[in-house]
Amino acid sequence: MTVSEPELITIIEGPTPEFQPTPQRWLQSIYEGPDDQAVAFCQLRTGNGSDIIARCQNAWRENRPVKLDFPDEIRMRQQVDVVAMRLDEIDEGQVLHLWVALPYELVGVEDFDNGDFDDFDEDYDDEDDGLDYL
């Protein structure tokens, strides 16, 4: 069994990404793994978003993992699995939207498991989730 090289999205400079919980229940079903993780969302500004998207799509076609490589608060390198992504253009440039499988150790469990998302949301319309699919 050979271990395939992951495709890395590397943050070289700048602050640690701000990971936010995602209330969409279907996102958790995208990522299944042996570890207890939550799907979180972050946004990154980039100058080469099209290249990043192409490299990651190629990696997924080859069944290779895609990982976000970033410095944490004490500048130690961390890596998390990328579950999905989307690229947007704004006035200031490109923004890469990433959904990642985030281990609970990297954020407080209370941020992601506060019970708000456990109950069925009658107002949620899964037909209009606001996401563009790659």
- Look at phi and psi of residue 76 and say left if phi exceeds 0, alpha if psi is from -120 to 50, else beta: beta
pLDDT of residue 13: 85
pTM: 0.73
Backbone angles phi, psi at 106, to 5 degrees: -75, -20
Q: Are strands 66-71 and 77-90 parallel, antiparallel or unpaired?
A: antiparallel
pLDDT of residue 69: 97
Mark 79-93 as b/e (b = at least 16 C-beta within 10 Å).
Answer: ebbbbbbbeeeeeee
pLDDT tens string for the chain (134 positions)?
456 899 999 998 888 999 988 876 666 666 666 667 788 999 999 999 999 999 999 999 999 999 999 998 899 999 999 999 999 999 989 999 999 988 777 655 455 554 444 443 444 444 444 444 33
Q: The domain 7-104 is classified under which CATH number: 2.40.30, 3.30.70, 1.10.3470, 3.30.1490?
A: 2.40.30
Length of the chain: 134
